[in-house]
Amino acid sequence: MTLRRQPGGTKSMCATLPPPSAGEGGPAVRPGRSGRSPAEGGRRERAKFLAARTGTACALALLLATPLPGRAAPQDAPAASVPLPPPIPPERPQDLTPPPPPGEAIKAAPTPPERPAELTPAVQADTKPDGKLDAKPEGPAPTAESGKPEAAQPTPLPPARPPELSGEAALALKVSAPDDAACRTRLARLGARFEPLPAIANGQCGAPLPLKLTALDGVALPQSATLTCTAAEALARWATEAQVAAERELKQPLRSIAIGTSYECRGQNHDVEAKLSEHAFANGVDVMSFGLEGRAPVTVAAKPAGSDEGRFLDAVRGRACAFFRTVLGPGSNAAHADHLHLDERERNAGHRLCQ
Ligand SMILES: [Zn+2]
């Protein structure tokens, strides 16, 4: 290298020199032999070397620019602040760099294991048995593999609708059959005779557990009644009240009750446009007359005020409201002029209709 003295001074000329590190251009600085401190000896050696190459001015400038041990520059701080070890740290041996710790070796594993090709369709088939996640695998999956899942998608068909959940059977399920075993037990204890009937399903009309009521305790039913157990139990309990009223008002025992209509699929008051009657659900019964021993039957009709039959009919009609939710008869309307209509229609807040 040829160096020329420049008018700019030693700073610019010295800038062309290699840095005063022992690794590259300068000689290795060893500890001084004359008892000086290693840092001071190193600076002197470096100054000698530079003076030989660039002249005294530059060497002095560099010597002054070299930080003292007390206020060393950050780059020379380790060498200057450590007293005993040599100022230039020994070069790291080449064999120490490559072997990293075993833990880092595992982390630095360059290439992840390749996914087996046969695993991709199997995982996708497991993750979407219900078919709801079909849209996700299609996006990221490559075109070659997306064909397989799409081919498997048509297979998860929705389960077939059970036959009992379709058609009229489904409609029948909405009117779920109540468990009236306790009601039938009570009805039998009341002395009623009855037999179960098959479920009635006639469009919107019907009854899941109808009974054929043929007799009450001590009171015959010449016309059997098709009723729900609830209506039959109410009729049986009311009949005991009618027996008491017959003994009190007519001085004769009650022997029979003539039933007009029990189950019948029709609207209220036989009106096709009207709401379905409780008769349509085997939940209502029409009482036409009472048979008493030793006298003519007492038909349901408007009776002269103060007559024994009138008092009897008023008594049984009034007591009926304790067992049925609806009681209609003569005076309610023209449709009930000749019978008592009794039913168990449920109303909001348990309201009853007794007229
Ligand atoms: Zn009726």
| CA 250 – CA 310 distance, rounded (Å) | 10
Whether 124 maps to a domain, the answer reads no
| CA 138 – CA 146 distance, rounded (Å) | 6
Taking only the tens place, the pLDDT of each residue in 289-305 is 999 999 999 999 999 98
Weakest mean pLDDT among 123-137, 144-158, 276-290: 123-137
Position 161 confidence tier, pLDDT thresholds 50, 70, 90: confident
C-alpha angle 63-67-72 in degrees, rounded to nearest 5: 165
Ligand 1 centroid from CA 205, angstroms: 15
- Residue 320's pLDDT is 97
Whether 268 maps to a domain, the answer reads yes
| CA 223 – CA 260 distance, rounded (Å) | 8
Q: Using the predicted structure, report yes or no on whether residue 353 has a pLDDT greater than 80.
A: yes
Ligand 1 centroid from CA 189, angstroms: 27
Taking only the tens place, the pLDDT of each residue in 274-286 is 889 999 999 999 9
Q: How far is CA 246 from CA 202, 224, 293, 295, 333, in A?
A: 38, 22, 10, 12, 26
Weakest mean pLDDT among 93-107, 132-146, 187-201: 132-146
Q: For residue 25, what are the contacts with CB-CB under 8 A and spacing of at least 6?
A: 17, 18, 19
- Residue 223's pLDDT is 96
Ligand 1 centroid from CA 257, angstroms: 15
338 versus 6: which is more confidently predicted? 338
| CA 47 – CA 66 distance, rounded (Å) | 10
Question: Which domain covers residue 52, as residue numbers?
Answer: 10-16+40-62
- Residue 169's pLDDT is 62
- Residue 272's pLDDT is 76
Neighbours of 189 (CB within 10 A): 10
Instruction: Check the CA dihedral 336-338-344-350 and report its sign.
Output: positive
Position 310 confidence tier, pLDDT thresholds 50, 70, 90: very high
Pairing of strands 353-354, 326-328: parallel
142: β partners: none
- Residue 336's pLDDT is 94
Ligand 1 centroid from CA 285, angstroms: 6
The stretch 123-133 carries a mean pLDDT of 43
Whether 142 maps to a domain, the answer reads no
Ligand 1 centroid from CA 337, angstroms: 11
Whether 261 maps to a domain, the answer reads yes
217 versus 123: which is more confidently predicted? 217
Q: For residue 269, what are the contacts with CB-CB under 8 A and spacing of at least 6?
A: 277, 333, 335
Q: Where do we find the tokens 């002395």?
A: 191
Full DSSP string of 208-256: SS-EEEEEETTEEEEEEEEE-HHHHHHHHHHHHHHHHHIIIIISS-EEE
- Answer yes or no: are the C-beta atoms of 141 and 124 closer than 8 Å: yes
Whether 270 maps to a domain, the answer reads yes
Q: Using the predicted structure, report yes or no on whether residue 186 has a pLDDT greater than 90.
A: yes
255 versus 133: which is more confidently predicted? 255
72 versus 303: which is more confidently predicted? 303
Residues 198 and 344 in one domain: yes
Q: Using the predicted structure, report yes or no on whether residue 2 has a pLDDT greater than 60.
A: no
Whether 190 maps to a domain, the answer reads yes
Ligand 1 centroid from CA 245, angstroms: 22
131 versus 196: which is more confidently predicted? 196
Q: How far is CA 18 from the centre of its chain?
A: 76
The stretch 120-148 carries a mean pLDDT of 44
Ligand 1 centroid from CA 136, angstroms: 63
Taking only the tens place, the pLDDT of each residue in 224-261 is 999 999 999 999 999 999 999 999 999 999 999 999 99
Ligand 1 centroid from CA 238, angstroms: 16
Full DSSP string of 129-177: SSSTT-HHHHTTS-HHHHHHHHHHTTSSPPPPPPGGGSHHHHHHHHSPP
Weakest mean pLDDT among 58-72, 298-312, 336-350: 58-72
Ligand 1 centroid from CA 248, angstroms: 27
| Residue/partner pairs of 270-278 with CB below 8 Å, 24 or more apart | 270/335, 276/204, 276/205, 277/343, 278/326, 278/343, 278/344, 278/345
Q: Where do we find the tokens 């059997």?
A: 224
**Mean of all residue pLDDT scores within the chain:** 73
Ligand 1 centroid from CA 159, angstroms: 46
Ligand 1 centroid from CA 261, angstroms: 6
Residues 349 and 204 in one domain: yes
| CA 290 – CA 216 distance, rounded (Å) | 13
Ligand 1 centroid from CA 277, angstroms: 8
Q: Using the predicted structure, report yes or no on whether residue 119 has a pLDDT greater than 90.
A: no
Whether 116 maps to a domain, the answer reads no
Number of domains, the chain: 2
Whether 230 maps to a domain, the answer reads yes
Q: Using the predicted structure, report yes or no on whether residue 268 has a pLDDT greater than 90.
A: no
Ligand 1 centroid from CA 269, angstroms: 7
| CA 213 – CA 339 distance, rounded (Å) | 19
